Structure 1
């Protein structure tokens, strides 16, 4: 049952949404200018829109963008971002927000501003951890300096702690509970091992850390220690930092333990923005805040606690092989020993700062694409998030230079560096909740970057409707190591067979970053892009510029490649007269998820034929998706004929632009690098005539994802409204598909499962109706 205060907020939010049509319905034909509605300064808009400039095409914009990307500047931006620790709400965090705004404004990016919110944050005042028996051991809870890494020398710049852990003073026996999942606690209970009142030791991996604490809390534990086992990201994987990229013995993974099960964002203001005077839940009534204290520790300091359990309870490998970790001791469950944990965490509502810019579109200003990366880090955050923040800052700088020379997108672009992501997606979620109505009316896509570059392996997660756009973009950018297209390397490593051939797998979106509110609360198609590699210093003091320069991306070419890929996703969305969105790939995914539902029904001894309702609705959706693709393709063919005249006019003007824009690997540039490609005076060329069907088709493409939104939400966690995707109830990071159905099956609720399947099937039909309208 929801706390009374949360239930009241939910009821108020539902009433407001019903009155305003905040989400879950087709967008209206006309809406206010996003530049004004999304917080752009009034003074910046006083001069009026940029309609006097002739519209550019995609090819010309991409050519200008790629000429302007500067690899050396990406490196220096990352160096500047990692020069100081900048945890959310700190003075350094605010200074970086202001510096980015100043840089963007100087580059020519319009409507730059800082949007401030006031979420709940915590900081440690003091903490200690002592093993009292069988032998005494005092944990340092510190990360020592590393030779060659200057920023690591301040060992207490950000203490090792967990976001939203309550204070606590606990003396108790220890129990080891593997990854801390509900299944792990059930395995202990089945062997007569009682965790009630104990300090539970669990290791990182398998699920979001906050859900480990939630499972321990529900099992009756008094406190939790979470450590990084070397089997996951330490010496078992390879050489450790500073000799290699993996986690050294005393590195600690900080992080938030907010429970993502119920909602993202500020734990005291679900459904509404955390403005300074917002109505807030009492802290004790927030379902997303843990009730027992927790500390993160290193595997070097976890070892004495694990050793104290030897010979007590049962040997972990007798439960399952994956209970034995990578340390050179035999893992036992306990209970045994005795430990004392003390935490004094100070909680306060504090400001965080999103840096924003809005570039108004010309031909479709009431349609918007949002792109963002978070900026706050647990310490220095070279990979997470500064590698992605550097890319977004560079994109803003280059678009600013283009804007200063006359470029305008056809659709509005909103650029953001979000704050407070590490505590629970705070900055992005509060901004979405603050602008939910205008976003529902205008936003056609959200592009997210987080942890941008840790190696050479490209990965993407996205709404299926955007999957082909991502694949196309990677066909147009070269891989720095191989010299071949990124797509080829990606497809060799992650290719899957689909009805349209073998293509690289685009993963579903779960909880991991700032796309959550866009996709799962409002229904805005979203993308998350990055390059991955060997990386073991996550959320530690050692996620530093030195680590990135040695192991992550020593040449900075993958930062450049990621910037180019994002450009080839963003600019088609901003310029193509027919949006590059396709719902046909959704059909294959939906059929796969329906098979999973049928298997789950069979495993739960429920009627498997219930899944037939999903299959029938997917058939309807497929017909609509294929009809819409045919419509869109015909419009694109019509446009291609018109483009020939425009290409002739542009190339003939002497701009030196290759309108075809062959595959490029830009070798750096400078602030003046755009001069040869962006003319000071625009050539006169024919304006693209707009086919009367363009607007109708684009509305179906741009707002089709809204069809999957059920305003009633998932039972018990109503903030999540997407019927196809939500964070797994007990995984957090990973997505669960058709989540409400699977949750009802796990509850053994036969009647409820039948009802939810019928509701989801109806929603799929409604989504099909939006595409076919």
Structure 2
């Protein structure tokens, strides 16, 4: 641009010819002159004739031969003579035995094989396993590497970033975190799984309100905007995560008498009916927590005639919530099936056609709520309950304690009305993203375990993200170990970050269902890491077949507080896999995979609220030095090694049989409790269970024989024995998969696991002592009063146990 502000066009004129150098003028205007220097030419040597050159070369050759070759020949001649003597003698002896040519070749092969054997046993071969013992890697070396290479700074940095933004499923924050995790997987030694993007139903809050009226008079308008830490009350910049909302809740409005229903159990409703409360078209106020998941509380509320639900956090002593915080729990009902909430049935992966009517799809699916719900704060609950005092009948055992203030609960009257509206933005086919990385096994790479963590959260999800932080550290740890130790597991490992967990486990279900052929036959364990660290008390939920290997691993990791082993400080209690909102559900219920969940729990934290931030995580000193994250990473890493690098998959079939027997005794008690005159016949079951135990004895015998043979050969495994071991592993993987009903359990075709899974109507009060997460098909039929079908379900279990014997050829 010129100083006048206009651009000048560069003229299209060809360059002039450059001036001749001899015509250049100097500064005085005279033509420059150059002084020419003389160059001295070297004197030429007389050239040698060919004859003289030949004689020179001959003299050099004679001299070199005399000084080099002749001394070597003089030194080697005796050696050569000795070699000829030995060779002649050897030939004469070999000729007496057989054909010398064949025998010498055999001796040569034996010599080379001996050298290869010595090198492989020494561990010096760089591409071998590097073991000091036979064909398998020294697990102590791997344990030492794990213990010394978990980096707490890296865990903390990842956790801080993961909780730096709100990340509801399908939002920009969720996508940003998915890309962050994908970059880590791409930079590692893992193979990135390309099948990560999928579509599912999600919804987001738009306009919500909940108002209490006494007649036509407005008594209280609930504040449904949760304030962020440090946010001014008058600030109007409202973000999505601040709006009161239950992910997966029904769009719509409700208006009716307000009724407080405690935890929303059937026993609570029974008490209200006894006090004369009419629940038809009511809006019920229910606490989170207790025996039931929120989805089941909504189901029961609708069943009792309610038109809407207001949820609030349980104000237990020591709660991390405050008077104005709002807890936003998901409410999809996974009891019938997990996955896309509006797909035409469980396990359907195809995109729902856009021309489908969303309302019809919603109302035709069993996993969607039938009435709207909104979460509210303690402040709102207090302002709703106080006006009811003196109206109706007081319920003494339900008094709420908000710390500085106690609020009495009265049944109220018809003049107190709640008007609520839950308007949401719905996306029938929203793009959502899983991120998966795979380590391919070096031996049976067709068999795999899965390590998974939920990523999405209604808010910032600091504690929710602790599982993902541990997952990322495991990825880094195993990737670095593969490179540094030149190691690979015998069987494959998937590390997966799931989105869509708050929408009926859409991500984990899609991941498993998209590889259904694989997981139906070859997936053999799932480990869940969601909300992994919220305190210092170790909690473990696991399939009985995994108990022994977990107990063995606990002794290998120290408790950060006491320096004792985790085996010493743990309470020795294995919990059941009862939480229907966890990503292990589709793997257990539909694919028959044993599962486990590990976490350090203890301190209350503001789950699924805007208070669950990294700053509050640090202020509450939940894990300030990240030592419990480190301990959990080490524990899970060593369990992964047991599952994927032990030559024989370490399932404890004896413990599985023992658990089945214990659960069946409980079922007998439940049958007697329901109907003392029941004719349910357990005879065949007793016989089948005794037979099933023979598989455990066969397993122990195989392990003993295999160990003796390998130890006798200094750790080397004969090829035929390896083939037998692979076959045994393949059968072990199929064991719990055979115990699946192809048609599903009673009234729930998606849920195929006949041994483990929640009874649909969880027993309450006196029945709570029963083990309701076993034999779900039998228990559901009993609850429905269908005793004939209960017997059929029991016979089905016996038939499937007998098929296990056929698999191991023991029947």
What TM-score do you get using the length of structure 2 for normalisation? Answer: 0.76
- Cα shift readout 1:211-234 (whole Å, capped 9, x = no counterpart): 111111112211111111313xxx
CA distance in 1, matches of 2:324, 2:617: 19
- Give the one of 450, 468, 475 matched to 1:396: 475
- Kept after mapping to 1: 8 A contact 2:190/2:479: yes
Residue 407 of structure 2: which of 329, 333, 343 is its match? 329
Deviation string 1:69-108 (CA, Å, 9 cap, x unpaired) is: 1111111110010011111101111111111111222233
Following the alignment from structure 1 to structure 2, what is the Cα–Cα distance between the partners of residues 578 and 426?
Answer: 33
**Matches of 1:73 and 1:527, distance apart in 2:** 25
Distance change >3 Å, CA 325–CA 222, structure 1 → 2: same
The 2-side partners of 1:218 and 1:741 are apart by: 23
TM-superposition CA deviations, 1:655-702 (whole Å, max 9, x none): xxxxxxxxxxxxxxxxxxxxxxxxxxxxxxx99985342122212322
Counterpart-to-counterpart distance in 1, 2:167 and 2:210? 26
CA deviation digits over 1:316-373, x for unaligned, max 9?
Answer: 23xxx4x444341221223441222122112112011011111211111111111111
Q: Name the counterpart of 2:117.
A: none
In structure 2, the residue corresponding to 1:132 is in which secondary structure?
Answer: strand
Secondary structure of the 1:487 match is helix
Indicate whether 1:533 and 2:602 are aligned: yes
> Which range moved further: 397-406 or 269-278?
269-278
User: Which residue in the other structure is 2:651 paired with?
Assistant: 581
1:271 alignment partner in structure 2: 346
Give the Cα separation in 2 of the matches to 1:175 and 1:252. 20
Structure 1 gap segments, 5+ residues each: 1-50, 232-236, 241-245, 496-503, 647-685
Cα deviations by residue, 1:609-640 (Å, 9 ceiling, x for unpaired): 62444333322222322332332344245445
SS of equivalent to 2:401: coil
Q: Secondary structure at the match of 1:705?
A: helix
Of the three residues 514, 519, 529, the one matched with 1:434 is: 514
Could you tell me how far apart the structure 2 residues matched to 1:467 and 1:154 are? 51
Partner of 1:262: 336
Displacement of 1:703 in angstroms is: 2.1
Cα distance in 1 for residues equivalent to 2:614 and 2:139: 35
Aligned alpha-carbon RMSD (Å): 2.7
Give the one of 184, 202, 208 matched to 2:286.
202
Aligned to 1:623: 694
Equivalent in 295, 305, 312 of residue 374 of structure 2: 295
- Equivalent in 512, 515, 521 of residue 590 of structure 2: 521
- The answer to whether structure 1 residue 748 and structure 2 residue 790 are counterparts is no
Q: Of residues 52, 55, 59 in structure 1, which corresponds to 2:140?
A: 59
Contact 1:449 1:528 in 2 (8 A): yes
Structure number, greater radius of gyration? 2
8 Å CA contact 2:339–2:509 kept in 1: the answer is yes
Shift of 1:728: 3.4
Structure 1 stretch displaced more, 546-555 or 705-714: 546-555
Could you tell me how far 1:121 is from its partner in structure 2? Answer: 0.3
Q: Is the 8 A contact 1:57 1:576 kept in 2?
A: no
- In the other structure, the counterpart of 1:703 is 734
Q: Which of 568, 571, 581 is matched with 2:641 structurally?
A: 571
1:346-425 equivalences under 5 Å are: 346-348=425-427, 349-384=429-464, 386-405=465-484, 406-425=486-505
Query: 1:528 is paired with a residue of what secondary structure?
Result: strand
Distance 2:538 2:193 in 1: 31
Query: In structure 2, what is the Cα distance between the partners aligned to 1:296 and 1:633?
Result: 57
Is residue 138 from structure 1 mapped to residue 244 from structure 2 by the alignment?
no
- Higher mean Cα deviation, 757-766 or 541-550? 757-766
Report the equivalent of 1:3. none
- The answer to whether the 8 Å contact 1:632/1:697 transfers is no
Report the CA distance between 1:278 and its aligned residue: 7.1
1:770 — aligned with what? 807
How far off is 1:56 after superposition? 3.8
- What corresponds to 1:252 in structure 2? 326
Aligned to 2:25: none
Query: In the TM superposition, what is the alpha-carbon distance from 1:57 to its structure 2 partner?
Result: 4.6
Matched residues in 2 for 1:735 and 1:637: separation? 43
Preserved contact between residue 263 and residue 719 of structure 1 (Cα < 8 Å): yes
Greater relative CO (CA pairs within 8 A, separation 6+): 1
**For residue 91 of structure 1, what is the aligned residue in structure 2?**
172
Aligned counterparts of 2:266 and 2:155: Cα–Cα separation in 1: 43
The CA distance in 2 between the partners of 1:164 and 1:745, in whole Å, is 31
Deviations 1:518-577 (A, max 9, x none): 111011111111111122311111111123223321110000000000001111211111
Q: 2: distance between equivalents of 1:540 and 1:250?
A: 10
Cα separation, partners in 2 of 1:136 and 1:73, compared to 1, 3 Å:
same
Q: Report deviation, 1:771.
A: 4.9
* 2:539 aligned partner: 459
Cα distance change of structure 1 residues 506 and 638 upon mapping to structure 2, 3 Å threshold: farther
Rounded to whole Å, the distance in 2 between the matches of 1:767 and 1:506 is: 26
Give, in angstroms, the shift of residue 200 of structure 1. Answer: 1.0
- Distance of 2:694 and 2:496 partners within structure 1: 37
Match of 1:449 among 529, 554, 564: 529
Which residue of 1 is the match for residue 44 of structure 2?
Answer: none
SS of 2:737's partner is helix
Tell me which residue corresponds to 1:13: none
TM-score normalised over the length of structure 1: 0.80
Deviating more after overlay: 262-271 vs 105-114: 105-114
- Which of 194, 218, 222 aligns to 2:303? It is 218
What count of residue pairs does the alignment treat as equivalent?
654
